[in-house]
């Protein structure tokens, strides 16, 4: 792999290989610690948005594997403002062995990759969240084992998290449904691209308005905040639209008896997800968050070519 920018860039075999490696590294870490395969390597971490999971999981992934990470705040770089993205990419390429960028515009991470001579990882953009999707897939495989034909349902806004979840679903042969209100659908072009992939892997896709219809027979229910970072001006409007899409006990009870509930966090509790569900028996939101660490170790290892 040269970069890790979007799930759509990678074959099912490549993605499964990363997931298998992540599972192995996780078991290894808890048994005896990970080997120092990243010794002498530094990950430059560029942030335009605040972060808990992305920052800490990448930092600790590097440390666990013998490397180091360098945090670069929005004010330190001013990506595309204080200095051109092309110049930032070429300068940092001489200092670090890989870059991770958490940005507002997907075009920014693509521009970094274009000019960088070291691997670039998309830590989140307005289009997609591929590292989150890898942690999600690792969590789902840990729960269900063989996942082909699994029914995965996203309830809420057709945002970047939903896009990456759909992308990995069609790559790995899951059935994917999304229930979202009118005006909050995923981009049409991305849907059509994933329909073509699904035709080859046997995945079934469904785009619905009614969350109760969507969760019938669901083994996975996934939700996210109604208002993402950068959409704060829409908060009042969104909070008037999304209450019917809340993941609560009633909705969960309509799914498969062994359903798991997922959320990429941070959660606005008792908005998109009620407390009793978030902290209930079906919830895997904290193991899911912890798996960011192990999935990202595997991504880094493949990019560094050391495992």
Examine the residue annotation and report whether 264 is marked as an active-site residue of this protein.
Answer: yes
Residue 186 DSSP symbol: P
DSSP bridge pairs for 151: 175
Identify whether 102 is a catalytic site residue. yes
Q: Spot the catalytic one: 53, 129, 238, 263.
A: 129
CA dihedral of 151, 254, 132, 292, whole degrees rounded to 10: -110
CA 94 – CA 117 distance, rounded (Å)? 8
- Compute φ and ψ for 44, nearest 5 degrees: -85, 125
Contact predicate 289/52, CB 8 Å: no
Q: Are 171 and 15 in contact (CB under 8 A)?
A: yes
Q: Determine the distance from the C-alpha atom of residue 145 to the mean position of all C-alpha atoms in its chain, rounded to a whole number.
A: 20
**CA gap 287, 263 in Å, rounded:** 11
- Cα separation, 243 vs 259, in Å, equals 21
Checking DSSP bridges between strand 120-124 and strand 98-102, what pairing results, if any?
parallel
Q: Please state, in angstroms and rounded to a whole number, the distance separating the CA atoms of residues 39 and 64.
A: 10
Query: What string of pLDDT tens digits covers the 307 residues of the chain?
Result: 999 999 999 999 999 999 999 999 999 999 999 999 999 999 999 999 889 999 999 999 999 999 999 999 988 887 877 889 999 999 999 999 999 999 999 999 999 999 999 999 999 999 999 999 999 999 999 999 989 999 999 999 999 999 999 999 999 999 999 999 999 999 999 999 999 999 999 999 999 999 999 999 999 999 999 998 778 888 999 999 999 999 999 999 999 999 999 999 999 999 999 999 999 999 999 999 999 999 999 999 999 999 8
Pairing assessment for the beta strands 260-263 and 151-155 based on DSSP bridges: unpaired
Of 68, 60, 59, 61, nearest to 39 (Cα)? 68
Catalytic residue (one of 3, 282, 292, 302): 292
What domains are there in the chain, each with its CATH number? Answer: 7-129+292-302 (3.40.50.1370), 132-288 (3.40.50.1370)
CA angle 275, 280, 283 (to 5 degrees): 100
> How far is CA 226 from each of CA 109, 139, 158, 230, 267, rounded to the nearest angstrom?
24, 23, 10, 12, 10
Cα–Cα distance, 31 to 33 (Å, whole number): 6
Question: Is 167 a catalytic site residue?
Answer: no
Distance CA 19, CA 21 (A): 5
Question: Rounded to an integer, what distance in angstroms lies between the CA atom of residue 250 and that of residue 277?
Answer: 10
Candidates 102, 263, 271, 282; catalytic one: 102
* Confidence (pLDDT) at 24: 98
Question: Is position 129 annotated as part of the catalytic site?
Answer: yes
**Of residues 97, 224, 246, 302, which has the active-site annotation?**
224
Catalytic residue among 126, 264, 271, 282: 264
> Measured between alpha carbons, how far is 252 from 130 in angstroms, rounded to an integer?
26
What is the four-CA torsion angle of 246, 251, 256, 258, rounded to 10 degrees?
70
What's CA 37's distance to the chain center, in Å? Answer: 24
pTM of the model: 0.97
Active site residue 82: no
Say how far apart CA 33 and CA 11 lie, in whole Å: 30
Query: In whole angstroms, what separates CA 166 from the centre of its chain?
Result: 11
Q: How far apart are CA 86 and CA 271, in angstroms?
A: 40
Residues in the chain, total: 307
């Amino acid at each position: 792999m040269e970069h890790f920018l979007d799930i759509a860039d990678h074959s099912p075999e490549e993605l499964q290989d990363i997931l298998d490696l992540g599972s192995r590294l996780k078991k290894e870490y808890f048994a005896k610690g990970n080997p120092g395969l990243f010794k002498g390597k530094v990950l430059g971490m560029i942030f335009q948005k605040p972060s808990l999971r992305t920052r800490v999981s990448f930092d600790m992934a590097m440390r666990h594997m013998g490397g180091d990470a360098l945090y670069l705040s929005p004010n330190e770089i001013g990506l595309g403002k204080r200095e051109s993205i092309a110049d930032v990419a070429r300068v940092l390429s001489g200092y670090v062995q890989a870059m991770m960028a958490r940005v507002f515009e997907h075009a920014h991470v693509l521009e970094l990759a274009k000019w960088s001579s070291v691997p670039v990882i998309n830590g989140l953009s307005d289009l997609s969240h591929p590292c989150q999707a890898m942690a999600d897939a690792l969590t789902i495989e840990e729960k269900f084992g063989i996942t082909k034909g699994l029914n995965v349902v996203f309830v809420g806004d057709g945002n970047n998290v939903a896009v990456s979840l759909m992308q990995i679903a069609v790559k790995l042969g899951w059935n994917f449904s999304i229930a979202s209100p009118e005006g909050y659908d995923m981009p049409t072009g991305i849907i059509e691209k994933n329909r073509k992939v699904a035709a080859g892997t046997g995945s079934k896709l469904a785009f619905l308005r009614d969350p109760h219809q969507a969760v019938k027979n669901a083994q996975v229910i996934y939700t996210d905040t109604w208002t993402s970072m950068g959409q704060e001006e829409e908060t009042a409007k969104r909070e008037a639209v999304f209450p019917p899409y809340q993941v609560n006990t009633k909705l969960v009870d309509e799914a498969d008896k062994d359903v798991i509930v997922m959320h990429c966090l941070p959660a606005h509790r008792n908005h998109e997800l009620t407390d009793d569900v978030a902290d209930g028996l079906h919830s895997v939101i904290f193991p899911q968050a912890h798996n960011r660490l192990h999935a990202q170790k595997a991504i880094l290892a493949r990019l560094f070519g050391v495992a």
